[in-house]
A and B are shown apart, each in its own frame.
Chain A
Amino acid sequence: MKTKNKFFLIIVLLIVSITTYTYMLPLFSSSEKKLESISAELTLTANDLVATYTNDETKSNALYAGKIIEVTGTIKEITFLNNRTTIILNSTSETFGVICDINPNQKETIYQLKKHQKIKVKGICKGFLKDVILLNCSIDLPTNE
């Protein structure tokens, strides 16, 4: 009887530890690295994204904020301020653009980029100030352009 109890206890402990490991641990670590393997929920152009945001910010926030989106656009500027790599994408309106904060693991790709080049950027949309802000971005280079 006692051995049975022990056995039972071990099983319970095992289950508890596995659940903690799979469900609780992600909360205590950073999800920054995982994004690259997740596919985007929405795909659109930088123009469309900026246009919807300038039209109705609250509505757009409900649509895009917090979601992983993939944006196609041309590079306006690449900056390395504050040790962050940032790409700003053009939109048809001169005032507004898309600021993409690039994940440090994309370093290799950054060196291949030039101004006015067309690229695809995947990241988490955070909202809109004067530009739409995407964080934790990865870059997807079109193969034949």
Chain B
Amino acid sequence: MNKLLPLFLLIFSFADADSKQNQFIARQGQISFFSYTSVENIEAKNNQVLSILDIEKEEIAISMLMRAFVFKKDLMYEHFNESYIESDLYPKANFEGKIIDFDAKSKEQQTKIIRGQLTIHGITKELDIKASIANSNGNYILSGEFDISVKDFEIKIPPILASNIAKTISIQFLFQYQPYEE
């Protein structure tokens, strides 16, 4: 039995590696967004973004809680969640995409396009996002920024506040992936 045990372990570890080896997870990805206008600057950060990266299928999935965005002022948080995003109805934002021409083995930093669908406020949009991917000791780091238009996601802003909120919002992201272990 003692001789068989290592063998079993070996078989199991290989079987496990088969399905999981290609997946990487980031539980504490960071996404921040900025709205710059002459009236005021609004900035919010979410440090608990979940993402799974599959390097074989070259796919990426991201999910975040809208209520986990932290603002400087409570009023901004309230407006964002109650009026604009309607977080009770749409608590999450999701992204699913494919990394085009991804070279998983490359040790150098590479800039790639991620093509996928972004869902915010219950509305899904096709999107191409430029991201830089770095590989440090087998762990991947994904970062970049892009702009989205408030109008695209049917977010209604009352005319009084229209001058406080930018028409395009810039978004920054940073994910540090670790091998996915169950």
What separation, in Å, do the CA atoms of A93 and B124 have in the docked complex? 32
Contact present for A82 and B28 (CB under 8 Å) = yes
CB-defined interface of A64-95 with B at 8 Å, one 1/0 digit per residue?
01100000000000010110101010000011
CB-defined interface of A116-145 with B at 8 Å, one 1/0 digit per residue?
000000000011011101010000000000
Contact present for B65 and A127 (CB under 8 Å) = yes
CB-defined interface of B52-63 with A at 8 Å, one 1/0 digit per residue?
000000000001
Q: Which label, helix, strand, loop or mixed, suits the secondary structure of the B interface?
A: strand
What separation, in Å, do the CA atoms of A27 and B72 have in the docked complex? 11
Question: A140 to chain B: closest CB distance in Å?
Answer: 21
Extra 19 A-B pairs, beta carbons < 8 Å, given A27-B73, A27-B78: A28-B75, A29-B73, A30-B71, A30-B74, A79-B28, A81-B28, A81-B30, A82-B174, A84-B28, A86-B28, A88-B27, A126-B65, A126-B67, A127-B68, A129-B48, A129-B92, A130-B25, A130-B27, A135-B70
Note all chain B residues with C-beta closer than 8 A to A32: 70
**CB-CB nearest 5 A-B residue pairs:** A129-B50, A27-B75, A127-B65, A126-B68, A126-B67
Decide yes or no whether B117 CB sits under 8 A from chain A. no
Decide yes or no whether B120 CB sits under 8 A from chain A. no
Decide yes or no whether B101 CB sits under 8 A from chain A. no
Q: Which residues of A contact B (CB under 8 A)?
A: 26-32, 61, 65-66, 79, 81-82, 84, 86, 88, 94-95, 99, 101, 126-127, 129-131, 133, 135
What separation, in Å, do the CA atoms of A42 and B91 have in the docked complex? 22
Note all chain A residues with C-beta closer than 8 A to B176: 81
Contact present for B91 and A127 (CB under 8 Å) = yes
Contact present for B28 and A99 (CB under 8 Å) = yes
Note all chain B residues with C-beta closer than 8 A to A31: 74
Interface residues of B in 61-89 (CB under 8 A from A): 63-65, 67-68, 70-75, 78
Given contacts A27-B73, A81-B28, A82-B28, contact A130 B78 (CB under 8 A): no
Note all chain A residues with C-beta closer than 8 A to B71: 30
What separation, in Å, do the CA atoms of A133 and B140 have in the docked complex? 23
Given contacts A61-B91, A81-B28, contact A129 B74 (CB under 8 A): no
Decide yes or no whether B18 CB sits under 8 A from chain A. no
Tell me which of A29, A79, A133 has the highest count of chain B C-beta atoms within 10 A of its own C-beta. A133
What separation, in Å, do the CA atoms of A84 and B182 have in the docked complex? 24
What separation, in Å, do the CA atoms of A133 and B67 have in the docked complex? 10
Decide yes or no whether B47 CB sits under 8 A from chain A. yes
Note all chain A residues with C-beta closer than 8 A to B27: 88, 99, 130-131
